[in-house]
Amino acid sequence: MSMTYNKLARSLALLCGLPLLASCGGGGGSGNGSVDTGSCSVNEQNAFFLDYMRENYFWYEDIPANIDPTDYSSVFALLDAIRSPQDRFSYVLTEQEYQERFVNAEYVGFGFSTRVVGSGLFINYVFADSPAATAGMSRGDEILEIDGVAVATLIANGTLNSALGPAEEGTAITFRWAKPSGAEQTDVITKTAVETNTVLAIERFAQDGKDIGYYVLNSFIDRTGADLNSAYNALVGVDELIIDVRYNGGGLIRYANQAATQAAGNNVMGNPFVSLIYNDKNSDRNNTSLFQLVDGVQQLNLERVFVLTTGASCSSSELIINGLKPYIDVVVIGQPTCGKPVGQSPQPFCDKRSFVINFETVNADGEGRYFDGLMPQCAAADRLVGDWGVNGDPLLDEAKHYISFDNCSPSAQTSAQQAWLSDKDKPVRAANLLEQWRREF
């Protein structure tokens, strides 16, 4: 029989040198560094994790009563065995992965995210100053060959990922790719440490006498506060704002709060943004976060915001929409979001950090439980027509149409759910940040 949660938590804290304190609101701050796991046996980790889940998991009642943690080879295998059928979202990272992605905002790679469409491989986005960006790759490009082998062949053989090489600095691959114009390029691109800027583009458009601001927000990690400041500093004075979270898998709640507060400013400041509701064993942890600037400076004080979404818009991305809805007009354009009205308080243990569902989220009107996603007012398909901000992007064009005519275009009158089901070019429906990271090379 396993030790109780409290006793084992103290034991593992001493063994591993890590305080077992959950962080607040969907992600920790800088967290703790990686630690020596020499004293943390698999059985001890599994026993701790099972007891932690029985106490803190939002759906703890769905955990089978007869689970023996010693039957599983790892915490990862144990989580797969005990997760609730309702749970598409829980995961466990190594502490190194957490530090690299959430805290240091980097990974080893070329610096692009991809999407497979049929037998083609397309670029969703490219990180600034990455090897891919330096070589001239950008959103909308199609990769044709990898080390002389046609991408269609690699996809058919199931060898695409291996062809892109290991996640090791110095890995060099020859790519041939085509721009949306049809112009082709060939270059050798070498993997290095890529910094993952979380705001991928910032633009201002003039339309019908209005100044329109637009930025692409790709994730909510430790650097997001500073990246948001750069975006809002560049957009001071705009009449309308379009926030593009079409690929944003979520992250830290406080930066969803910052993004929403900087957009709506005095219309929301100090009012409830989101309430976190824990399971009945932890109801004393229930709390409400108020709209605040967090790391922000500028605020736009807008009474209407446009948000561009797909099925890859998840978690904290959805909180921007749901949190603002009770106070200002939020026009959602694109496809239904991923449907994650729940969140995690990251739990460090040994050399790992668990992100299991601990709470549900509701807005000031008590609205939540949107497991089928938040529906757009205007349906539009996400199609790769070029870089961020170009004319012809269906989501951005639809937002511009709404700004001019105060309604959806005729082509967007189809139901949002139908648009999601019929769009063969849609991105993979995300369940958490891991889904987003798996498409970054």
Domain boundaries, the chain: 5-103, 106-195, 199-342+360-430
CATH superfamily to which 199-342+360-430 belongs: 2-enoyl-CoA Hydratase; Chain A, domain 1 (3.90.226.10)
pLDDT, position 421: 47
Q: Quick check: 151 and 164 in contact, CB under 8 A?
A: no
- Report whether 120 contacts 151 (CB < 8 A): yes
Among 173-177, 191-195, 340-344, 428-432, the minimum mean pLDDT is found in 428-432
CA 3, CA 18: separation in Å to the nearest integer?
18
The pLDDT score that the predictor gives to residue 314 is 96
CATH code of 106-195, in short, is 2.30.42.10
Mean pLDDT of 134-157: 98
Q: Are 260 and 324 in contact (CB under 8 A)?
A: yes
State residue 357's pLDDT score: 98
pLDDT at 3 over 70: no
**DSSP summary character for residue 246:** T
Q: What is the pLDDT of residues 403-436, one digit of tens each?
A: 999 999 998 865 544 554 444 344 445 566 778 8
Torsion angles phi and psi, residue 225, rounded to 5: -55, -45
pLDDT for position 28: 37
Q: What is the pLDDT of residue 386?
A: 97
Average pLDDT, integer, range 116-142 = 97
pLDDT in tens, 35-79: 343 469 999 999 999 999 999 999 999 999 999 999 999 999 999
d(CA 333, CA 202): 18
pLDDT reported for residue 419: 52
